Amino acid sequence: MLARGERVLGIDNLNAYYDPALKRDRLATLDGAAFTFLPVEMSDRPALMAALKAHAPRRVIHLAAQAGVRYSFENPQAYVDSNITAFLNLLEWARADGSVQHIVYASSSSVYGGNTKQPFAVGDAVDLPVSLYAATKRADELMAQVYALQFDLRLTGLRYFTVYGPWGRPDMAPLKFARAIFEGRPIEVYGQGDMRRDFTYIDDIARGTVLALDETGHFGSVPHRVYNLGNNHPEPLLRFIDVLEAAVGRPAVRVMQPMQAGDVRETSADIDLTIRDLEWKPTTTIDAGLPRLVDWVRGYYHYDGR
Ligand SMILES: NC(=O)c1ccc[n+]([C@@H]2O[C@H](COP(=O)([O-])OP(=O)(O)OC[C@H]3O[C@@H](n4cnc5c(N)ncnc54)[C@H](O)[C@@H]3O)[C@@H](O)[C@H]2O)c1
């Protein structure tokens, strides 16, 4: 957004779910007069209202959330606060403001939960969440539907499928695995490795998110729509690890583990609707994307000896 000359307000509470130093380092790449950052707790409604009133953004990309499937069994309250209350506060601000043009918000492939039909399509019923994380993301979609219907707010939900790449989340397998392989530590391979994921490269996700924000021609009578942003090419977890090993240049020490509570064995995205409306297609395979992740990991965590 900055590269194409927009003014951007960034909001984040910089919480310690994972090392906030990484969040600050990401922010440090975004300096410049067009970018303002405010450390705001979005579940604090007066604080969020004050920040948004002062800066009056016209378009919003709402990514803030308590992410992570497994952690939702340890700290369920964080999911309700950051995924439901925070989103409600954003919707309430938009409702009161009255001139917000479009809000794009992050949903998740996890809303497909226990569905067995593959690939997952936006029109499928999504009533079988297997984690509280998934339930809160689905709740966001339902809340968005109501606010679009009742208050004529334009809202687009994006169901992201396992995103990876430089600057990624340290609690997710790609980054965790890459670091462990560099350090010669064992990696835990869940589901005995019998899992397939529609790993999606960050630049494809970023491009799709901006396209969704810009492209507003496909709303129906209720101005709310949902798209899958996934790679449309599920990869066996074991092949994913093979490619990672090759990029690091060292073998992984694999420790096979059973499936974890809340995990799903396969995620695969049907992106026909996304291609039709947004003309978006992912272009980065794991063979191209994982080496870029590994290059970033090597530099950021000083595995290159510097
Ligand atoms: N990474 C993936 O594979 C993936 C897949 C599906 C959906 N998503 C969704 O995409 C979005 C971005 O995910 P991510 O991987 O970049 O996660 P992330 O944890 O790196 O980013 C979320 C940010 O939100 C901030 N935040 C959390 N609660 C907040 C609150 N109450 N107030 C203000 N800020 C708060 C966190 O500090 C964090 O920096 C999330 O909504 C996530 O649920 C991600």
Number of H helices, E strands in the chain: 10, 12
Confidence at residue 163, expressed as pLDDT on a 0 to 100 scale: 97
Ligand 1 pocket check for 67: Cβ under 6 Å? yes
Low-confidence stretches of the chain (pLDDT < 50) are none
Ligand 1 pocket check for 245: Cβ under 6 Å? no
Alpha carbon of residue 204 to chain centroid: 12
Confidence at residue 306, expressed as pLDDT on a 0 to 100 scale: 64
Q: What is the CA radius of gyration of the chain?
A: 19
3 part of a folded domain:
no
Ligand 1 pocket check for 65: Cβ under 6 Å? yes
75 part of a folded domain:
yes
Does the predicted TM-score (pTM) go above 0.95?
A: yes
Ligand 1 pocket check for 72: Cβ under 6 Å? no
- Residue in 287, 202, 190, 182 with CA at minimum distance from that of residue 243: 287
Ligand 1 pocket check for 231: Cβ under 6 Å? no
Ligand 1 pocket check for 269: Cβ under 6 Å? no
Q: What CATH number has the domain bearing residue 283? A: 3.40.50.720
- 229: three-class secondary structure by DSSP: strand
Confidence at residue 297, expressed as pLDDT on a 0 to 100 scale: 98
Residues 193, 199 contacting (CB under 8 angstroms): no
Confidence at residue 282, expressed as pLDDT on a 0 to 100 scale: 97
> For residue 151, what are the domain limits?
8-300
| Helix H or strand E segment including 46 | helix 45-55
Residues 279, 247 contacting (CB under 8 angstroms): no
Give nearest CA residue, ligand 1 atom 17.
67
Query: What's the 189 CA to ligand 1 centre distance in angstroms?
Result: 24
Per-residue tokens: 219? 């709303």
Which atom in ligand 1 lies closest to the alpha carbon of residue 15?
37
Q: What are phi and psi of 23, to 5 degrees?
A: -65, -40
67 part of a folded domain:
yes
* Catalytic residue (one of 105, 133, 160, 190): 133
- Residue in 264, 267, 239 with CA at minimum distance from that of residue 254: 239
Query: What's the 65 CA to ligand 1 centre distance in angstroms?
Result: 4
Query: What's the 306 CA to ligand 1 centre distance in angstroms?
Result: 30
Confidence at residue 264, expressed as pLDDT on a 0 to 100 scale: 79
244 part of a folded domain:
yes
Give nearest CA residue, ligand 1 atom 1.
163
38 part of a folded domain:
yes
Query: What's the 68 CA to ligand 1 centre distance in angstroms?
Result: 9
- Single-letter amino acid code for the residue at 18: Y
306 part of a folded domain:
no
Cα angle: 30, vertex 248, 163; to 5 degrees: 45
Using omega within 30 degrees of 0 as the cis cutoff, is the peptide bond preceding 119 cis?
yes
134 part of a folded domain:
yes
Per-residue tokens: 228? 């899958």
Ligand 1 pocket check for 51: Cβ under 6 Å? no
133 is annotated as an active-site residue = yes
Ligand 1 pocket check for 13: Cβ under 6 Å? yes
Which atom in ligand 1 lies closest to the alpha carbon of residue 200?
3
Query: What's the 67 CA to ligand 1 centre distance in angstroms?
Result: 5
Number of domains in the chain: 1
- 24: three-class secondary structure by DSSP: helix
Distance CA 68, CA 172 (A): 8
Confidence at residue 31, expressed as pLDDT on a 0 to 100 scale: 80
Give nearest CA residue, ligand 1 atom 25.
64
Distance CA 140, CA 230 (A): 19
Query: What's the 63 CA to ligand 1 centre distance in angstroms?
Result: 5
For the chain, the residue count is 306
Query: What's the 106 CA to ligand 1 centre distance in angstroms?
Result: 8
Pairing label, strands 163-164, 59-62 = unpaired
Ligand 1 pocket check for 64: Cβ under 6 Å? yes
Give nearest CA residue, ligand 1 atom 27.
65
